[in-house]
Amino acid sequence: MAGAPVPGPEAGVGAGAGGLGASLRQLGGTLLGIAHTRLDLLATEVEEEKRRLLSVMAWGAFGVLMASVSLVFLAAFVSVLFWDTHRLAVLGGLVLAFGVACGLAFWQVRMRLCESQGMLRDTLAELDADRQALHKGAP
């Protein structure tokens, strides 16, 4: 036992500093892991929203095109049907009906835009849950 080194007060400090450094590195790694997970969630939500929006736009454009063609042929059919008797009344009624339909469509678009649930709501909810969990753990 005479040859064994005697630990001095500096030995405890060195071990504690290495332990603190390792803990800080582990904490940094954990925080980076959390940030990476949240960014993955963010990227996934943005991609899903982009695909949904493109799909809605494509089907909406196709629907508008088909509705327009149908309405043009319907208006022509009704106009020709009543050409000899009440052509002005029929044309006026068609213009009024198309105007009302246009107003309703724009009103629906406005309502849909106003009822948006907000983009990235899941990511923001997870970040809020993380923040609350960190505040609960703090003394």
User: Can you give the residue ranges of every domain in the chain?
Assistant: 11-134
Distant-in-sequence, close-in-space partners of 78: CB < 8 Å, separation ≥ 6: 90, 94
Does the pLDDT value for residue 8 go beyond 60? no
Token pair for 133:
């969990």
Read off the pLDDT of residues 62-112 as tens digits, 9 standing for 90 and up. 998 998 888 889 889 988 998 899 888 988 888 898 889 889 988 888 888
- What does the pLDDT read at residue 62? 93
- In angstroms, the CA 131 to CA 38 distance is 13
Note whether 93 and 79 are within 8 A (CB). no
- What does the pLDDT read at residue 22? 84
Across 112-131, average pLDDT: 76
Note the Cα 82 to chain centre separation in Å: 50
- What does the pLDDT read at residue 14? 47
Residue 118 — left, alpha, or beta (φ > 0 → left; ψ -120 to 50 → alpha)?
A: left
- What does the pLDDT read at residue 5? 56
- What does the pLDDT read at residue 58? 92
Token pair for 32:
């980076």
Distant-in-sequence, close-in-space partners of 109: CB < 8 Å, separation ≥ 6: none
Q: What percent of the chain has pLDDT over 70?
A: 82
In this structure, what are the phi and psi dihedrals at residue 117, rounded to the nearest 5 degrees?
A: -85, -10
Q: Is residue 129 packed enough to be buried (19+ CB in 10 Å), middle (13-18) or exposed (0-12)?
A: exposed
**Per-residue pLDDT band at 12 (split at 50, 70, 90):** very low
- What does the pLDDT read at residue 105? 87
Note whether 57 and 131 are within 8 A (CB). no
- In angstroms, the CA 78 to CA 88 distance is 11
